[in-house]
Structure 1
Amino acid sequence: MIFDYVENYTRYAKGNTAVWEKVFDFIAGLNENSAAGKFDIIGDDVFAFVQHYETLPVEAGKIEAHDQYLDIHVPLSGSERVYFSALEALVLLEDFRPASDDLLFAFDAAKASSFELTPRHFALFLPGEGHMTRIQTGPAPAAIKKAVIKISGNLFYGPK
């Protein structure tokens, strides 16, 4: 898991720099007025979802982990709390779901760490890293607009 300012992405952009440049060029073109929807960056290998939603109480969340895709989360407006956890210590709720490339685990606060994700920051999760997003930062749900970029691990690790 990586958490940093968007402008520092080159510190981590190793292996396939052309992909990282396309991803962060796409991110640089986004703002709080960007349209919601799915956007292809490099076909099925790199794509983004721009989403607008209300954050949730922590009790409503589940830890997810992906098998194939890296996730980059970038708030465009609003903020959310993000939790991350080692999967080995968690209870599996739903086995691998190929359509969404994820497994779901029960959230256990005693086995998780968290941070607040705000505009100008990004969080990157590698395949197999447990994370829970969409959690409210205050006493009540709040609106957030966020981009989630999905990058196929094939671009860096080769086919599974």
Structure 2
Amino acid sequence: MLLGRKERWMSDRSFMHPKLREVMDMMLRTNFSELQEGKYSLQGNDVYYTIMTLETRDRKNTKAEKHEQYIDIHYLLEGTETIGYACDNGMNGVVESNLDSDYVLYENVQGEQFTTLTPGMYVVLYPSDIHRPGLTGSSAEPISQHIRKVVFKVKKEIVQ
């Protein structure tokens, strides 16, 4: 997992794989406020993104996920979102899996940690990263809030 801020991108970009750098450059220069929700293709099924709005959820009611074929880049546009993450250690119980749709779902995740995103922050999640996006904060009584975000999908083969 890689966590960053739009404001730091120009100093951090040299450490990124050239294909991911290209996607991130495009992501950070796009005015998403002019675009509607939905899926947008950049390179067919190799690189695409989805603009979405949602209400954050309590982590107890949200399954964690992992993708074998794609790298995810979550970029928060509005609101505050907490994301759970952990490196897949092979010891987590799978509750659902669909390889054609490229997801594996988990109920409980060993060693899961949480980070909070604010607008302008992004997180890059690799195929070894289990993640639980779209969560409310960690207060005793979590309050759901409206968020708007973009999730980029980059086929892992194009960065290998």
The reply to whether TM is greater than 0.5 is yes
Aligned to 1:36: 37
Q: 1:23 to 1:43 in 2, by over 3 A?
A: farther
**Alpha-carbon deviation of 1:26?**
3.3
* 1:65-76 aligned within 5 A: 65-76=66-77
Contact 1:61 / 1:107 at 8 angstroms: preserved in 2? Answer: no
* 1:84-123 aligned within 5 A: 84-87=85-88, 88-99=90-101, 101-108=102-109, 111-123=111-123
Q: 1:72 to 1:22 in 2, by over 3 A?
A: closer
Aligned to 2:144: 141
For structure 1, the 5+ residue unaligned runs are none
Aligned to 1:125: 125
* 1:16-55 aligned within 5 A: 17-18=18-19, 20-32=21-33, 34-55=35-56
Q: 1:60 to 1:116 in 2, by over 3 A?
A: same
**Alpha-carbon deviation of 1:5?**
1.1
Aligned to 1:10: 13
**Alpha-carbon deviation of 1:129?**
1.1
Report the TM-score when normalising by structure 1. Answer: 0.86
The sequence identity of aligned pairs, in percent, is: 22
Looking at structure 2, the residues matched to 18 and 65 of structure 1 have their Cα atoms a distance apart, in angstroms, of 21
Q: CA RMSD, aligned part only?
A: 1.9
How many pairs align? Answer: 153
Looking at structure 2, the residues matched to 82 and 39 of structure 1 have their Cα atoms a distance apart, in angstroms, of 23
For structure 2, the 5+ residue unaligned runs are none
Q: 1:22 to 1:128 in 2, by over 3 A?
A: closer
